Structure 1
Amino acid sequence: MGAGKSTIGRLLSLDLDLPFYDSDKVIEERAGTNIPWIFDVEGESGFRERETAAIDDLTQMKNVILATGGGAILKSENRQFLKQRGSVIYLKTSVELQIERTRRDKNRPLLQTEDPTAVLQNLMNIRDPLYQEVCDHVVTTDKRNPKLVVSEIKRVLGL
């Protein structure tokens, strides 16, 4: 959350002239509602099922840029789809910067709590090893201009 996946994904897609997909937006379009509503009505498990279906479909497409939700990595099926069907860039950022970037965003159900810093730290502890397992490259986004991050991604991909 707050690593810049959507922003950097859009910029990269423009730079490479490839279509960009954000799996969270695809889920919302398919459901006809927003993610907080899905969490309220179906719970996180219902959302994760929708997420896996979307990632399965999106990773079968060729020559696209895909940004997934931060928790997509939790399901082994999603990790397999991502690893086997494309190049995976882990946009890594600090918990402090995640808090700064997400503090006013009410569309992040997991952060609607008394202590979002503790939530993000716990998520990082769980997710970071999974991101490391799946990714082809780690690119740090802390305090970096998104265009510089795009340039680094292109460099590590040999583009």
Structure 2
Amino acid sequence: MKGKLKKTVVLVGMMGAGKTAVGNALARLLEVPFLDSDDEIERAANMTVAEIFARDGEPFFRARESEVLSRLLAGSPCILSTGGGAFLAPDNRVVIEEKGVAVWLKADLDLLWQRVRHKTTRPLLRTADPKATLAGLFDARQPVYALAGITVESKPDYSIEDMARKVMAALSGRHDVMEME
């Protein structure tokens, strides 16, 4: 199965859902660039996301995130991984819907916890009880992620390549997003 991307595919979902890993694999399959909005923000600020959160706060970060998303979505079609909170902003959802397609990488809470529990790069999980924090974020964000145009469910036994193929299969049914060759 081979396809030509017509719009940017924006991967959304919780931290640990696999947006970066699956996005890289999907970009290789489709032979298009892979971009990560957090990487682009860090490059522009010359600081890590955690440093931006610590110095300037989450509202400042979210404003920069929206600017970067708009800029990236104005470019050529690509695979774009976003931070877990990017899709929560209504304005971000509008620009994603207008210029691309949102794909929710849906993973259950246990799988997400297994993937993020040892990471020190997650500013929102720097709390006394990071698992409870993750659970709260999960519960609050699920209804918003469900607004994505496409949902691809992750399972613990899926490899990164399995997930990339599942996303590609979901995209193949969207002729506004991908032209099958």
Corresponding residue of 2:151: 138
1:95/1:117 contact within 8 Å kept: no
Distance 1:136 1:75 in 2: 16
Q: 1:32-71 to 2 correspondence within 5 Å?
A: 32-71=46-85
Amino acid at match of 1:139: V
1:73/1:79 contact within 8 Å kept: yes
Q: Sequence identity of aligned pairs in percent? A: 35
Distance 1:99 1:139 in 2: 19
User: Which structure has greater strand proportion?
Assistant: 2
The structure showing larger relative contact order (alpha-carbon pairs under 8 Å, at least 6 residues apart) is 2
Deviation per CA, 1:63-120: give whole Å up to 9, x if none. Answer: 1100000100121111111111112110011111111111121111001112112111
Using the TM superposition, name which of 3-12 and 98-107 deviates more: 98-107
User: 2:57 is paired with a residue of what secondary structure?
Assistant: helix
Using the TM superposition, name which of 76-85 and 26-35 deviates more: 76-85
- Unaligned runs of at least 5 residues, structure 1: none
Tell me the TM-score normalised to structure 2 length. 0.84
2:32/2:78 contact within 8 Å kept: yes
- Unaligned runs of at least 5 residues, structure 2: 1-14, 173-179
Question: Does 2:117 align with 1:103?
Answer: yes
User: 2:75 is paired with a residue of what secondary structure?
Assistant: coil
User: 2:85 is paired with a residue of what secondary structure?
Assistant: helix
User: Which structure has greater helix proportion?
Assistant: 1
Corresponding residue of 2:92: 78
Distance 2:167 2:112 in 1: 20
Corresponding residue of 2:42: 28
Per-residue deviation, 1:62: 2.5
Distance 2:150 2:102 in 1: 7
Amino acid at match of 1:136: G
Equivalent pairs counted in the alignment come to 158
Distance 1:157 1:35 in 2: 30
Tell me the TM-score normalised to structure 1 length. 0.95
Amino acid at match of 1:137: I
Distance 1:89 1:34 in 2: 25
Per-residue deviation, 1:53: 0.6
